[in-house]
Structure formats: structure tokens, C-alpha cells
Structure 1
Amino acid sequence: MSFGSVLRRGVLAGVCAGLSSALVTWVAVEPVIRQALDIEAARTEVIHGGGQSLPLRLPAHGGGEEPLVSRAVQVVGGAMTSVLVGVAVGVIFAIVYARVRERLSGRGDLVGSLTLAAVGFGGVSLLPALVVPANPPAVGDPTTVGHRTMLYAVTLLLGVAVPIVVVAVDRRLSMSSMSTTTRLALDVVVAAVLLVGLVVLLPGSPDVVPDDVPADLLWDFRVASLAQLAAMWLTLGLVFGVLMERAATGDRTLAPVAA
């Protein structure tokens, strides 16, 4: 199979992953965002009523100032962005899979693709979500944007480094006489220790949740955001694996009926 064919399957899988991510955003994340925007609007109305100055972040929904871009346009733009992000992730996913395919496709490309997708979700999505949890619009201090961005970037880089370290350990273990099951179990232990260590050692988000934001709204937003990322990675792994499996068996010809 040529690298170009693998890359094309990565792009197609990325489109599907982006669409699934946009669907989960529309169904699960958007309702929670609207609740948070209503809290912002109510907060701004209180400030107006008390004769105080406007907050740093203007409301994007509800009362107060009219938004420059309507919420419907924001939703459509977010869906298009999800598809573009899915394509970019799909391209990177295909490149990485082409590089490590011999080590992952021992039980078939579908299993190998799902394995790589699980690794990507854990290092690129789950770890940053645990260290710097996503916050709805009503939560977050604009003065800490730089701090949070830097912390997220560092966490993301360390999350990408974890699979690289695990692969290096796996190569060293493969040189010994231990069984494949034992080697894989040790790989899982090493990955778990590294991830837990990063979660414990890295500092958390500097933002404080305001008193007018319910705890269940914050929890629902973070779970929905993580579900959006999980849907993207799951769809990417499934679609790419199925396409690769079909490509591997596509060259087989059917025997004539007479035979």
C-alpha cells in the first residue's frame, strides 16, 4: 500500500471524525454553553443595575450588548472548524500509523488503528482535560489566558512524549526473552505511571469558579467537552481502521461461480 493511499484514508477518516465531533458539540456541548451564556447575561444586567462598570467579557447571548456575531453563526463556524481540525488530526494520524503500522497491525489494521486512537486520546485529549479542565463561558479570568495557554501547551507536549517513551521502553523490552503478554502489560504500567505522575506534578488551572456558576453546569460542560473529543478519536480510529482493512483485502478476487 502506498503512502498516498494511507494519507487519503486518513483525510477521509478525519472528515468523519470532525463531523462526529461537531454532532456531539451540537447535541451535548451547545446546550450547556447556552446556560453559561445566560449566566453571563444575568451577571451583566446586575452590574448595569448597580451602576458599576462593565465586566471585561461582554455577554454573547441573552441580555446586555448585542453580539457582533449571532450564536447560530458561531455554531456553524464551530462545526466547520471541527471538520478542519478533524482533517488535520486525520493527516497526522495517518502519518504516524504508516510509521508504526508494523508494530500495531499484528491483529489487523482495525485493532491497530483503534489502539493508536486510544493512545492519541489519552495523551492529547484526556491528559490536558485532567490538568487544565475546560471551562464554560461564564468561568475564566481574561488575565490568566496566557498562563492557561502555556500550561495547556506544556501538558500537550508532555502528553505526546508519553507514547514516545512507552515505545522506547517497549523496544528495549522486546530484546529480552519475556513473553508478549508480559511486555504489553509492562507497557501499560509505564504509561499509567507517567500519566498519573504528570497529573499530580503539573499545576492546575489558576481560575476560580464564580459562585453564580452551578457545580452541575461546570461538570456537565467538562464531561460533554471530553465526550466530544472521545467521539472524534473513536470515529477516527474506527473509520481509518475499516478503510485500511478494506484496502488490505481489496486485492482479493472472487472465484468464478462455475468453479
Structure 2
Amino acid sequence: MTTRTFLVHGLLAGLLAGVAAFVVAYTVGEPQVDRAIALESAGATADHHHEDEATATASDSHGEDAAISRITQSTLGLATGTLAIGVVLGGLTGLLAAVGLGRLGSLRPAAGTALVALLAAVSFSVVPFLKYPATPPAVGSGETIDSRTALWFGFVAVSVLGVLAAVAVARWAARRWSAVPGTIAGATAYVVVVAVAALAFPKVDELGAFPASVLWDFRISSLLTLLAMWAVIGAALTALVDRTWRRQEAVEAQRAYAAAL
């Protein structure tokens, strides 16, 4: 199997994952976004209750425009975003699986691909989400969005580098002792790295008086979207790699049998 094969499989798996993420995000996540926007609009209306009738009429017209824009965002915009992210993550996971082929002990290609997808999901999405969870549109100051984004990317970088270091530690420990101690050593190394980073990176607390129930539902829906995307990437990519590998093994077996005649 070539790197190109892994990449193509990863892109296809990512496309399927993007579709799955869109379905979850649209059915579970978008209602929570609408609730957050409604709360934000209600707060803005309360703050400007002293405006005159003409201004209120203009505001109503603006709301209609925003409603049309919101429909586009929650359908075409959301689909475009999830498909693009899915294809990118799927392609990267496929390339990483190709790099890991033969470097993850005695794991077969399918098992190695599944492990790579799991490590990618944990390091790139799940662990950073635990430190800096998603927030609704009504939460956070626009003045701090750049700093908050930088913190998230910084923590993602530390988490990804941490899992790469953990894999190196696990391989070294497995050669020195065996597979089980090696796995434990690698997992421990990653936990230590992300724990230290979580303590070192500053907290972001700009929730204010935002309702806890809405925030909880929004974050759960966001996490479900991430998990759906990674689950499909891992399952589809593993299945595609396994099918290709078995076909290749069958062809090689036939050639060996023919050569032996």
C-alpha cells in the first residue's frame, strides 16, 4: 500500500465524516445556537428599550435580514464547513496512518490505522475541548476573540506534540520491556504533558450571566458533532485500509502460488 492510497482513503472517509457531522450539528447543535442567539437578541432589546419607533422599525427590518442570513449559515454554510473540515482531517489522518505503517509494533494496517485515528481524535479535538470548550455566539467579548483563538491553537499544538512524544516513549518502552508496559508508559507521558499544559495555560471565563442549561446543551451538542466526525473518520478509514490490504494480500498469495507451480 502506498501513501497515496492512504491519502485517498482518508479523503473519502473525511467526506463521509463531514456529512455525518453536518447531520449531527444541524439536528442537535443548531437548535442550541438559535437559543443562544435568541438570548443575545433579547438582551440587546432590553438594553435599547428607550429607542424611538423609527429605530425599532429599522431594527425589525435588520432582524429579517439576519434571519435570512441565519438560514444560510445553518444549512449551506454549516455543510460547507463540516465537509471541508472532515476532508482535511480525514486526509491528514490517512497520511499519519501511512507514516505509522510498520512503526506501531506488530499491529496490522487496519489496527494501526484505528489507533492513529483514535490518537488524532484525542489529541486534536477531545482533550483541547476539555480545556477550552466551545461557547455559544452570545458568550465572550469580541475584543478577546483573537487571544482566545490563539490559546486554543496553542493548546492543540501542545496536545499533538504530546501525543507524538508519547508514541516515541511507548515504542522505546516496548522495545525495552514489552507492549503492555510500553503502552502504559506512553499514555502516562501524554497525560503528564497535557496536565502540565492545562495548568500552565490561562483560564478563559467570559460566561457572565449566560444560562447554565443552554451553555451545557450547546457544549454537549458540539462535543457530539466532534465525536461523530472522528468516529466516522476512524471507522471508514479503517474499513477502507483493511479491504485494500486484504485484496493486496490475496493478490500476493496468488502470485506466490503461481510462482511455486
Q: What one-letter code is carried by the residue in structure 2 that aligns with 1:182?
A: P
Maintained 8 Å contact 1:13/1:90: yes
Maintained 8 Å contact 1:117/1:233: yes
Match status 1:241 vs 2:238: yes
Q: Following the alignment from structure 2 to structure 1, what is the Cα–Cα distance between the partners of residues 85 and 61?
A: 29
Maintained 8 Å contact 1:104/1:113: no
- TM-score, normalization by structure 2: 0.85
Distance 1:154 1:44, change over 3 A: same
Give the 5 Å matches for 1:90-109.
90-104=90-104, 106-109=106-109
Q: Following the alignment from structure 1 to structure 2, what is the Cα–Cα distance between the partners of residues 121 and 195?
A: 15
2:258 is matched with none
Number of residue equivalences: 245
Match status 1:114 vs 2:114: yes
1:228 is matched with 225
1:74 is matched with 73
2:189 is matched with 190
Superposed displacement of residue 221, structure 1: 1.0
Superposed displacement of residue 250, structure 1: 1.7
Give the 5 Å matches for 1:158-173.
158-173=158-173
Secondary structure at 2:92 match in 1? helix
Q: Following the alignment from structure 2 to structure 1, what is the Cα–Cα distance between the partners of residues 151 and 217?
A: 23
Match status 1:208 vs 2:206: yes
2:149 is matched with 149
Q: Following the alignment from structure 1 to structure 2, what is the Cα–Cα distance between the partners of residues 22 and 110?
A: 26
| Structure with the higher helix share, 1 or 2 | 2
Maintained 8 Å contact 1:104/1:115: no
Structure 1 unpaired stretches of 5+: 53-58
1:11 is matched with 11
Maintained 8 Å contact 1:32/1:217: yes
Superposed displacement of residue 201, structure 1: 2.2
Match status 1:37 vs 2:37: yes
Structure 2 unpaired stretches of 5+: 53-58, 255-261
Q: What one-letter code is carried by the residue in structure 2 that aligns with 1:233?
A: W
Superposed displacement of residue 70, structure 1: 2.1
Superposed displacement of residue 63, structure 1: 8.2
Distance 1:105 1:173, change over 3 A: closer
Q: Following the alignment from structure 1 to structure 2, what is the Cα–Cα distance between the partners of residues 35 and 68?
A: 13
Q: Following the alignment from structure 2 to structure 1, what is the Cα–Cα distance between the partners of residues 79 and 34?
A: 16
1:48 is matched with 48
Maintained 8 Å contact 2:39/2:138: yes
1:17-57, Cα deviation, whole Å (9 max, x unpaired): 111111110121111001001101111211221449xxxxx
Q: What one-letter code is carried by the residue in structure 2 that aligns with 1:7?
A: L
Q: Following the alignment from structure 2 to structure 1, what is the Cα–Cα distance between the partners of residues 70 and 64?
A: 13
- TM-score, normalization by structure 1: 0.86
Superposed displacement of residue 210, structure 1: 2.8
Superposed displacement of residue 116, structure 1: 1.3
Superposed displacement of residue 149, structure 1: 1.3
Q: Following the alignment from structure 1 to structure 2, what is the Cα–Cα distance between the partners of residues 200 and 135?
A: 20
Secondary structure at 1:250 match in 2? helix
Q: What one-letter code is carried by the residue in structure 2 that aligns with 1:2?
A: T
Maintained 8 Å contact 1:114/1:238: yes
Q: Following the alignment from structure 1 to structure 2, what is the Cα–Cα distance between the partners of residues 64 and 80?
A: 24
1:69-127, Cα deviation, whole Å (9 max, x unpaired): 52221022111111111111111111111101213483433332222122112111122
Q: Following the alignment from structure 1 to structure 2, what is the Cα–Cα distance between the partners of residues 34 and 105?
A: 48
Q: What one-letter code is carried by the residue in structure 2 that aligns with 1:193?
A: V
Give the 5 Å matches for 1:166-181.
166-176=166-176, 178-181=177-180
